[in-house]
Amino acid sequence: MGRLEGQVAVITGAGSGIGRAAAVEFAREGARIVAADLRGADDTIEQLGTEAEAVTVDVTRYDQVEKMLRTAVDRFGRVDLLYNNAGIPQSFTPFEESTDELFDRIFDVNVKGVFYGCRAVVPHMKRQGGGVILNTASTAGIRPRPGLAVYNASKGAVITLTKSLAAELAPFRIRVVSICPVATETPMLSTFLGEHEIEDARKRFIATVPWGRLNKPEDIARAAAFLASADAEMVTGTAFEVDGGRDI
Protein backbone atom coordinates (compact mmCIF):
# COMPACT_ATOMS: atom_id res chain seq x y z
CA MET A 1 0.00 0.00 0.00
CA GLY A 2 1.29 3.45 -0.93
CA ARG A 3 1.88 6.22 1.59
CA LEU A 4 -0.97 8.26 0.11
CA GLU A 5 -3.38 5.39 -0.51
CA GLY A 6 -6.94 6.61 -1.03
CA GLN A 7 -6.13 10.27 -0.47
CA VAL A 8 -7.22 13.08 -2.79
CA ALA A 9 -4.49 15.46 -3.94
CA VAL A 10 -4.96 18.72 -5.84
CA ILE A 11 -1.81 19.97 -7.55
CA THR A 12 -1.42 23.31 -9.34
CA GLY A 13 1.16 23.83 -12.05
CA ALA A 14 0.70 20.15 -12.86
CA GLY A 15 1.06 20.49 -16.62
CA SER A 16 4.85 20.23 -16.57
CA GLY A 17 7.97 20.23 -14.42
CA ILE A 18 7.67 19.78 -10.67
CA GLY A 19 3.87 19.68 -10.71
CA ARG A 20 3.72 16.90 -13.28
CA ALA A 21 6.38 14.90 -11.43
CA ALA A 22 4.43 15.34 -8.19
CA ALA A 23 1.23 14.10 -9.82
CA VAL A 24 3.04 10.99 -11.06
CA GLU A 25 4.68 10.36 -7.67
CA PHE A 26 1.50 10.93 -5.65
CA ALA A 27 -0.42 8.60 -7.95
CA ARG A 28 2.30 5.97 -7.54
CA GLU A 29 1.80 6.31 -3.78
CA GLY A 30 -1.94 5.64 -4.18
CA ALA A 31 -3.49 9.12 -4.33
CA ARG A 32 -6.33 10.22 -6.56
CA ILE A 33 -5.33 13.35 -8.43
CA VAL A 34 -6.80 16.64 -9.57
CA ALA A 35 -4.13 18.08 -11.86
CA ALA A 36 -4.52 21.81 -12.48
CA ASP A 37 -2.63 24.08 -14.83
CA LEU A 38 -3.11 27.33 -16.69
CA ARG A 39 -2.73 25.43 -19.97
CA GLY A 40 -4.57 22.32 -18.83
CA ALA A 41 -3.10 19.02 -17.67
CA ASP A 42 -4.62 16.33 -19.87
CA ASP A 43 -1.17 15.04 -20.84
CA THR A 44 -0.30 14.66 -17.17
CA ILE A 45 -3.29 12.56 -16.14
CA GLU A 46 -2.73 10.23 -19.10
CA GLN A 47 0.50 9.16 -17.36
CA LEU A 48 -1.02 8.42 -13.97
CA GLY A 49 -2.85 5.11 -14.11
CA THR A 50 -5.17 6.21 -11.32
CA GLU A 51 -8.42 8.08 -10.84
CA ALA A 52 -7.66 11.60 -11.97
CA GLU A 53 -9.21 14.81 -13.22
CA ALA A 54 -7.54 17.56 -15.26
CA VAL A 55 -8.68 21.15 -14.84
CA THR A 56 -7.62 24.45 -16.37
CA VAL A 57 -6.98 27.05 -13.66
CA ASP A 58 -5.54 30.54 -13.46
CA VAL A 59 -4.37 30.69 -9.83
CA THR A 60 -4.59 34.49 -9.85
CA ARG A 61 -8.39 34.15 -10.18
CA TYR A 62 -10.03 33.21 -6.88
CA ASP A 63 -13.21 32.06 -8.59
CA GLN A 64 -11.21 29.56 -10.64
CA VAL A 65 -9.31 28.32 -7.59
CA GLU A 66 -12.59 27.76 -5.73
CA LYS A 67 -13.99 25.92 -8.74
CA MET A 68 -10.88 23.70 -8.85
CA LEU A 69 -11.46 22.61 -5.26
CA ARG A 70 -15.18 22.12 -5.79
CA THR A 71 -14.29 19.86 -8.70
CA ALA A 72 -12.16 17.74 -6.38
CA VAL A 73 -14.89 17.53 -3.75
CA ASP A 74 -17.62 16.80 -6.30
CA ARG A 75 -15.55 14.07 -7.96
CA PHE A 76 -13.86 12.46 -4.96
CA GLY A 77 -15.74 13.71 -1.89
CA ARG A 78 -12.86 15.47 -0.13
CA VAL A 79 -9.45 17.18 -0.44
CA ASP A 80 -6.71 15.65 1.70
CA LEU A 81 -3.78 17.47 0.11
CA LEU A 82 -3.37 20.76 -1.72
CA TYR A 83 -0.01 21.36 -3.38
CA ASN A 84 0.22 25.04 -4.35
CA ASN A 85 2.99 24.58 -6.87
CA ALA A 86 2.18 26.99 -9.72
CA GLY A 87 4.71 29.79 -10.03
CA ILE A 88 6.71 31.91 -12.43
CA PRO A 89 10.40 32.91 -12.49
CA GLN A 90 12.15 36.24 -12.94
CA SER A 91 14.95 36.94 -15.35
CA PHE A 92 17.94 38.92 -14.06
CA THR A 93 16.82 42.50 -13.43
CA PRO A 94 18.77 45.21 -11.59
CA PHE A 95 16.55 46.31 -8.72
CA GLU A 96 16.17 49.89 -9.91
CA GLU A 97 14.84 48.59 -13.22
CA SER A 98 12.11 46.51 -11.56
CA THR A 99 8.74 47.74 -12.78
CA ASP A 100 5.31 47.77 -11.19
CA GLU A 101 4.23 45.30 -13.87
CA LEU A 102 7.05 42.88 -12.95
CA PHE A 103 6.24 43.11 -9.24
CA ASP A 104 2.50 42.69 -9.73
CA ARG A 105 2.84 39.73 -12.09
CA ILE A 106 5.25 37.79 -9.89
CA PHE A 107 3.37 38.49 -6.66
CA ASP A 108 0.01 37.73 -8.28
CA VAL A 109 1.13 34.23 -9.28
CA ASN A 110 3.72 33.30 -6.67
CA VAL A 111 2.07 34.82 -3.58
CA LYS A 112 -1.56 35.54 -4.30
CA GLY A 113 -1.91 32.18 -6.06
CA VAL A 114 -0.72 30.42 -2.90
CA PHE A 115 -2.88 32.67 -0.70
CA TYR A 116 -5.96 31.91 -2.80
CA GLY A 117 -5.32 28.17 -2.72
CA CYS A 118 -4.91 28.16 1.05
CA ARG A 119 -7.93 30.38 1.65
CA ALA A 120 -10.16 28.25 -0.54
CA VAL A 121 -9.10 24.85 0.82
CA VAL A 122 -9.02 25.57 4.56
CA PRO A 123 -12.82 25.43 5.05
CA HIS A 124 -12.92 22.02 3.33
CA MET A 125 -10.09 20.70 5.49
CA LYS A 126 -11.60 22.04 8.70
CA ARG A 127 -14.90 20.32 7.92
CA GLN A 128 -13.25 16.98 7.23
CA GLY A 129 -10.96 17.13 10.28
CA GLY A 130 -7.57 17.88 8.77
CA GLY A 131 -5.34 17.88 5.73
CA VAL A 132 -1.98 18.92 4.33
CA ILE A 133 -1.06 22.05 2.38
CA LEU A 134 2.27 22.15 0.55
CA ASN A 135 3.49 25.45 -0.91
CA THR A 136 6.31 25.74 -3.41
CA ALA A 137 8.75 28.38 -2.21
CA SER A 138 12.45 28.40 -3.17
CA THR A 139 15.96 28.59 -1.82
CA ALA A 140 15.70 32.15 -3.19
CA GLY A 141 13.49 32.94 -0.20
CA ILE A 142 16.27 31.79 2.15
CA ARG A 143 19.47 32.68 0.32
CA PRO A 144 18.58 35.45 -2.16
CA ARG A 145 20.57 35.99 -5.35
CA PRO A 146 21.32 39.42 -6.84
CA GLY A 147 19.15 40.58 -9.71
CA LEU A 148 16.11 38.62 -8.58
CA ALA A 149 14.80 40.87 -5.80
CA VAL A 150 11.12 40.60 -6.70
CA TYR A 151 11.22 36.83 -7.12
CA ASN A 152 13.23 36.43 -3.91
CA ALA A 153 10.69 38.53 -2.02
CA SER A 154 7.78 36.53 -3.41
CA LYS A 155 9.26 33.26 -2.20
CA GLY A 156 10.12 34.76 1.18
CA ALA A 157 6.48 35.77 1.46
CA VAL A 158 5.39 32.18 0.77
CA ILE A 159 7.69 30.90 3.51
CA THR A 160 6.29 33.38 6.05
CA LEU A 161 2.67 32.74 5.01
CA THR A 162 3.31 29.03 5.44
CA LYS A 163 4.68 29.49 8.96
CA SER A 164 1.74 31.73 9.89
CA LEU A 165 -0.82 29.22 8.66
CA ALA A 166 0.97 26.30 10.30
CA ALA A 167 0.68 28.01 13.68
CA GLU A 168 -2.97 28.93 13.15
CA LEU A 169 -4.20 25.68 11.65
CA ALA A 170 -2.42 23.08 13.77
CA PRO A 171 -5.38 22.82 16.20
CA PHE A 172 -7.49 21.76 13.22
CA ARG A 173 -4.96 19.02 12.29
CA ILE A 174 -3.95 20.87 9.14
CA ARG A 175 -0.24 20.79 8.40
CA VAL A 176 1.31 23.48 6.19
CA VAL A 177 4.83 23.14 4.77
CA SER A 178 6.80 25.11 2.20
CA ILE A 179 9.17 23.28 -0.13
CA CYS A 180 12.32 25.17 -1.14
CA PRO A 181 13.98 23.72 -4.24
CA VAL A 182 17.27 24.86 -5.67
CA ALA A 183 17.25 25.56 -9.44
CA THR A 184 15.46 22.68 -11.14
CA GLU A 185 15.59 21.17 -14.62
CA THR A 186 12.23 22.50 -15.82
CA PRO A 187 11.05 24.63 -18.77
CA MET A 188 11.52 27.75 -16.58
CA LEU A 189 15.24 27.16 -16.05
CA SER A 190 16.39 29.20 -19.04
CA THR A 191 14.55 32.26 -17.71
CA PHE A 192 16.19 31.84 -14.32
CA LEU A 193 19.72 31.32 -15.64
CA GLY A 194 19.41 33.63 -18.64
CA GLU A 195 18.73 32.78 -22.26
CA HIS A 196 22.29 33.52 -23.38
CA GLU A 197 25.27 31.32 -22.55
CA ILE A 198 22.98 29.07 -20.55
CA GLU A 199 25.49 26.21 -20.32
CA ASP A 200 28.12 28.51 -18.79
CA ALA A 201 25.49 29.86 -16.38
CA ARG A 202 24.49 26.31 -15.49
CA LYS A 203 28.08 25.35 -14.69
CA ARG A 204 28.58 28.45 -12.55
CA PHE A 205 25.41 27.76 -10.60
CA ILE A 206 26.15 24.07 -10.11
CA ALA A 207 29.50 25.10 -8.63
CA THR A 208 27.53 26.68 -5.74
CA VAL A 209 25.67 23.42 -4.96
CA PRO A 210 27.72 21.07 -2.75
CA TRP A 211 25.93 17.99 -4.11
CA GLY A 212 27.15 18.96 -7.57
CA ARG A 213 24.00 19.09 -9.69
CA LEU A 214 20.69 20.87 -10.17
CA ASN A 215 17.41 19.42 -8.98
CA LYS A 216 15.36 17.10 -11.11
CA PRO A 217 11.58 17.46 -10.80
CA GLU A 218 11.47 13.98 -9.30
CA ASP A 219 13.68 15.10 -6.39
CA ILE A 220 11.04 17.57 -5.29
CA ALA A 221 8.18 15.18 -6.03
CA ARG A 222 9.63 12.51 -3.73
CA ALA A 223 10.16 15.07 -0.96
CA ALA A 224 6.59 16.31 -1.42
CA ALA A 225 5.20 12.77 -1.19
CA PHE A 226 7.00 12.28 2.11
CA LEU A 227 5.76 15.62 3.47
CA ALA A 228 2.21 14.80 2.40
CA SER A 229 2.26 11.43 4.14
CA ALA A 230 1.65 10.35 7.73
CA ASP A 231 5.42 9.74 7.99
CA ALA A 232 5.75 13.54 8.28
CA GLU A 233 3.03 14.00 10.90
CA MET A 234 5.25 16.19 13.10
CA VAL A 235 6.48 18.36 10.23
CA THR A 236 4.62 21.66 9.90
CA GLY A 237 5.65 25.27 9.35
CA THR A 238 9.00 24.16 7.98
CA ALA A 239 10.80 25.62 4.96
CA PHE A 240 11.88 22.20 3.68
CA GLU A 241 15.01 22.61 1.58
CA VAL A 242 15.60 20.29 -1.39
CA ASP A 243 18.79 21.94 -2.52
CA GLY A 244 21.81 19.64 -2.47
CA GLY A 245 23.25 21.70 0.37
CA ARG A 246 23.19 25.09 -1.35
CA ASP A 247 21.74 26.85 1.70
CA ILE A 248 24.34 25.52 4.12
CA dihedral of residues 145, 146, 149, 152 (deg, nearest 10):
0
The answer, yes or no, to whether residue 190 has pLDDT greater than 70, is no
Domains in the chain: boundaries: 8-241
The pLDDT of residue 198 is: 67
The pLDDT of residue 47 is: 86
Q: Are 114 and 84 in contact (CB under 8 A)?
A: yes
Q: Are 68 and 91 in contact (CB under 8 A)?
A: no
Q: Are 11 and 34 in contact (CB under 8 A)?
A: yes
The pLDDT of residue 196 is: 57
What's CA 132's distance to the chain center, in Å?
13
Q: For 39, which DSSP code?
A: T
Q: Model confidence at 186, in pLDDT bands (50, 70, 90)? A: confident
The answer, yes or no, to whether residue 86 has pLDDT greater than 60, is yes
For residues 25 and 202, the model is more confident at 25
The answer, yes or no, to whether residue 248 has pLDDT greater than 80, is yes
- Rounded percentage of the chain residues whose pLDDT exceeds 90: 79
Per residue in 148-172, pLDDT (tens digit) is: 999 999 999 999 999 999 999 999 9
- How far from 139 is each of 53, 73, 226, 239, 240, CA to CA, in Å? 31, 33, 19, 9, 9
For residues 186 and 227, the model is more confident at 227
Beta bridge partners of 136: 179
Beta bridge partners of 181: 242
Beta bridge partners of 35: 11, 54
Catalytic sites, residue numbers: 151
CATH class of 8-241: alpha beta
Per residue in 204-240, pLDDT (tens digit) is: 888 889 898 898 999 999 999 999 999 999 999 999 9
- Average pLDDT of the residues of the chain: 94
The closest alpha carbon to 118, from 76, 166, 156, belongs to: 166
The answer, yes or no, to whether residue 197 has pLDDT greater than 70, is no
The answer, yes or no, to whether residue 199 has pLDDT greater than 80, is no
Q: Model confidence at 189, in pLDDT bands (50, 70, 90)? A: low
184 sits in which H/E element: none
pTM comes to 0.94
Per residue in 113-129, pLDDT (tens digit) is: 999 999 999 999 999 99
